[in-house]
Amino acid sequence: MAYGAVSAICMILHNIIVIGGDQLNWPYSRSILISFGLVTTVGYALQSLLTFNQALNKRTYFRYVIAMSANIPLAFVALWVWHDVVRLAMIWASPIATFSMVAINLLLSRWAILVQPTRVA
């Protein structure tokens, strides 16, 4: 349940940035990178504390940033398909692109926050 609520917050924040950027005639790259910086930090804190009940630390934050960086090319491709190929207005294309990435984000979040690296003795 917490994953869904945190994801909804992150999706709303991302879509506000991308749709707002489109209204300001920003290129995808600017909107996506601004969204990445803000949403990744907010998402890490909320997913760690609320979804996975884990303390915040630099190691898992770094892993989360690396895992979520997979969203950058996925966001470009998803927006391109829905906005440029299918020709949907950004107000529709951005949310559809965002929902198409939810399952990938769940798997990457679990890996980044919960999986402990094995140490070779």
pLDDT for 44 beyond 70: yes
* Among the listed residues 11, 41, 17, 43, the one whose alpha carbon sits nearest the alpha carbon of residue 30: 17
pTM for the full predicted model:
0.78
H/E stretch holding 85: none
| Least-confidence region, from 24-28, 30-34, 48-52, 66-70 | 66-70
Tell me the CA end-to-end span of the chain in Å, nearest whole number.
Answer: 38
Residue 120 lies in a domain: no
State the chain's mean pLDDT as an integer: 89
pLDDT for 120 beyond 70: no
Residue 29 lies in a domain: yes
Residue 25 lies in a domain: yes
Which range marks the domain in which residue 97 is found?
Answer: 2-114
The number of domains in the chain is 1
Look-up: residue for tokens 């790259």?
29
pLDDT for 13 beyond 70: yes
Phi-psi region of 49 (alpha: psi -120 to 50; beta: other; left: phi over 0): alpha
